[in-house]
Amino acid sequence: MSQLRFRVVETAFTKKPLDVEVPSERPSEYFAKYVFNKEKMYKYLPTQVYNMMCNVIDHGAPFDRSMADQVAKGMKKWAMELGVTHCTHWFQPLTDTTAEKHDAFVEHDGKGGMIEEFTGKMLVQQEPDASSFPNGGIRSTFEARGYSAWDPTSPVFIIDDTLMIPTVFIAYTGEALDYKTPLLKSLHAISKAATDVCRYFYPDVKKVVTNLGWEQEYFLIDEGLYGARPDLLLTGRTLMGHSAAKDQQMEDHYFGAIPGRVAAFMKELEICALQLGIPCKTRHNEVAPNQFELAPIYEECNLAVDHNMLIMDLMKKIARKHGFRCLLHEKPFAGINGSGKHNNWSLSTDTGCLLHAPGKTPEENLRFLTFIIETLMGVYKHNALLKASIMSATNAHRLGGHEAPPAIISSFLGKHLSDLIDHLENAAEDKIVIAGKHGLDLDIPSLPELMIDNTDRNRTSPFAFTGNRFEFRAVGSEANCASALISLNSAVAEALVNFKTRVDSLMAGGIEKDAAILRILREDIKTCKPVRFEGNGYSEEWRAEAGRRGLDIETSCPLIFDAYLKPETIHMFESLNVMHAKELEARNEIKWETYIKKIQIEARVFGDIAINHIIPVATRYQSTLIDNVHKVLDIFQGEAPALSENNMKQIKEISTRTQRITADVEKMINARKVANRIENLRQRAIVYHDTIAPMLESIRHEIDMLEMIVDDELWPLPKYRELLFIR
């Protein structure tokens, strides 16, 4: 190992864990310390304003803007007591990151001085530049006006000296330019649709809430090694690197003892998260070396999404304090597990979880079956859209291998639930007895409670039922999970609306409610059966079978995005008032453009490293071998001992591989030039996928082979064996 690399590795590996300042209070006492929650509202707001805010948060009542100044006054008092000097609207543009513009609490006092000021207008609305964020052509450069507007259902919080105000972000012409706006609309749509269906069983239900529990996977690597890898620095993943002799094959990292430095990082992360109201619950080693996971207690969906975006920011900041870099790319290292963000999704009311295992009465069982089957209906009808909602240039590397689900959306239910649904489908009509107001007999002699340990897990299933929720496993680690949830919420909402329309039609024709529900459920069981799959999602047999079933089996990322523009997709979003056609078209433009830029950046970085780092080093080592061969032959006077023969073989192999790399890089550059002249973004993205991305893999193979030949002391990049093991 060269002196330079030795110093980098030594500095990173010997860095001691930081002493984390642990609050003297218990976590329950400092939880949400920096959040303007109901406890703070009660203390800092007038009673009338507090009651109004509770009504907005709990019941979705409109926010009375006449109260904005009083809310802002209370917030400012609380914030300034904690040393806050600035405020910002914190929103989620279509970049899978967050955005913020800080304004100080200052204004002229009219006497030559300044006063601290934070008004209702500053709280409720700001004007970021809408043309500078991805907008898919909705805003031109000269059409800059856009608005961020406060979301009162997600509490304001403090980071450092800044009051962070969660907001939506819309164009001057009203189109959503963020994830939060359509997410809130999808939550409203599913709440209304589910509430209407729920009243068949519980007439007093007022609303249905969508719950989310995300599981965030991530990698940590030493910062010194990260800085020595231009590919990690600029693309988030290693574009090259031969597999280490040992990686995850011993299965010894999963749930293993957490390294001390990592534990110190996790401790500080959890403290900061808890102070910001993020209910962190679980931490552990994941399967791949240097891979870990964090999971919170479930929350309402909108808040959970905000908390996930916030925790990703915290992870990156706090990791650097501990000498790490946090990698959220879905596949930073080839050949081992990638990182996902499993989205555990469920529906609940004030009476309990709607997807909870069957109850003690036939009515409860019918409720359970209704919401399970109609969820499957939504997933079946819009399986292509759900795949598009989680697809990206980065997640495409992860899907379909090393425990990640494949790029075919199916649902695993487990034996008990599958048997139950099959029984309902196939039971004879005369075996299902409607007993008037006293309930009904489903002719199901035994309904075991479907808890998680009553059903196995299927890691190859993208959408698995796990007891009282569905686990959407295909979501990528660095993605904003709102993207997947907007589509899922909308698909299920549409299915529930359709279900109620058909049930009501039967009831209007004189069929009793329970009989009507059962008849429609049986129809839907037959319809959505193709999306149910219990087997190995990795097998070629399943891919062929999924195609025969009519499921979407497309693997090209740019073509997968087409699902957003299908007539049935546009109709669904527009009928539910979640998004309209113009917004969907704009989002697809952004998706294609983002895909192009990701591959383009990787190709540029790849070419630079290959030509300016790898080939010069390989050539230098080749020269050393050539010099050695000459000296050996001089000593042995023309004889060719085994040493020189071996060196000659390596010399030839280096020549062959460097020539291939040079030629392939030139081809890649020319292919990019051709692709970049294509005006249509969709067509350009297809060319990047079909032509340029495969070139990266071809060049990588040659470089990885050179890594195994060239003297380790000369090799310019830290290797996998150095990157993947924290010491």
Q: Please list the residues that pair with 176 across neighbouring strands.
A: 170
Distance of alpha carbon 176 from alpha carbon 146, whole angstroms: 10
How far is residue 473's CA from residue 342's CA, in Å, rounded to a whole number? 4
The one-character DSSP state at 692 is: I
Q: What's the confidence (pLDDT) of residue 12? A: 44
pLDDT value at residue 442: 54
Q: For the chain, state the CA radius of gyration.
A: 29
- Other Cβ atoms closer than 10 A to 134: 18
- Tokens found for residue 523: 């129809």
Give the pLDDT score at 448.
Answer: 46
The CA distance from 35 to 14, in Å, is 37
* pLDDT for 21: 73
Determine the pLDDT at residue 608. 96
Contact 112, 79 (CB under 8 A): no
Could you give the CA distance from residue 149 to residue 622 in angstroms, rounded to a whole number? 62
Report the pLDDT value the prediction gives residue 18, as an integer from 0 to 100.
Answer: 66
H helix and E strand count, the chain = 26, 20
pLDDT of residue 640: 63
| The pLDDT value given to residue 549 | 96
Query: What is the DSSP annotation of 181-227?
Result: HHHHHHHHHHHHHHHHHHTTT-TT----EEEEEEEEEEEEEEHHHHH
Say if residues 318 and 265 touch (Cβ distance below 8 Å).
yes
3-state secondary structure of 128: coil
| 3-state percent breakdown (helix, strand, coil) of the chain, nearest 5 | 50, 15, 35
Residues of the chain with pLDDT below 50 are 1-14, 430, 433-440, 445-454
DSSP three-state, residue 163? strand
Q: Which amino acid is at 286?
A: E
| Alpha-carbon span 8 to 211, nearest angstrom | 45
CA distance 648 to 629: 7
d(Cα 542, Cα 548) in Å, to the nearest integer?
A: 10
pLDDT digits (tens, 9 = 90+) for 490-533: 999 999 999 999 999 999 999 999 999 999 999 999 999 999 99
Eight-class DSSP state of 537: T
Q: What is the pLDDT of residue 365?
A: 83
Kindly report the pTM of this predicted structure.
0.93
118, two tokens: 């934070």
- Look-up: residue for tokens 């990703």? 312
pLDDT for res 361:
74
267-277 burial: b if 16+ Cβ within 10 Å, else e: bbbbbbbbbbb
